[in-house]
């Protein structure tokens, strides 16, 4: 096949995929909304009975507390981490763009054990 035909087929497949993905996301969102309503009812049962869960013939449910933390002042968090030598408070993940820029400015500073994977990719755009 020539590039013209390949791009045409690529766009057709991508459009079909996007339609299916949007349909699936809408269906999943509707199911998630139903689950949230049921979870709210189960939490109300726990609140009313003073229990942290229960069992039924179909299964059990348990109430728990989930706590999340996020900073609105990163400088304060960085100071806390430095003051208490607590780098484990951060997730182990490299900011890809910032690290790439750092290495471009400091090509001799690649740390031992840092893996690098580069590959070509193709971007297909629809004609206007």
Q: Full-prediction pTM beyond 0.75?
A: no
Secondary-structure percent of the chain, ordered helix, strand, coil, rounded to 5:
55, 5, 40
Residue with token string 């020539």: 2
pLDDT tens, residue order, the chain (128 aa): 899 999 999 999 999 999 999 999 999 999 999 999 999 999 999 999 999 999 999 999 999 999 999 999 999 999 999 999 999 999 989 999 999 999 999 999 999 999 999 999 999 999 99
């Amino acid at each position: 096949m020539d590039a013209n035909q390949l791009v045409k087929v690529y766009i057709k497949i991508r459009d079909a995929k996007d339609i299916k993905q949007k349909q699936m996301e809408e269906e999943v969102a509707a199911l998630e909304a139903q689950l949230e309503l049921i979870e709210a009812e189960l939490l109300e049962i726990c609140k009313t009975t003073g229990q942290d869960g229960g069992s039924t013939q179909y299964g059990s449910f348990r109430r728990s507390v989930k706590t999340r933390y996020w900073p609105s002042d990163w400088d304060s968090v960085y100071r806390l981490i430095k003051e208490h030598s607590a780098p484990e408070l951060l997730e182990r993940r490299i900011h890809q763009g910032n690290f790439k820029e750092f290495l471009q400015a400091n090509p001799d500073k690649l740390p031992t054990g840092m893996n690098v994977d580069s590959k070509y990719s193709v971007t297909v755009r629809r004609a206007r």
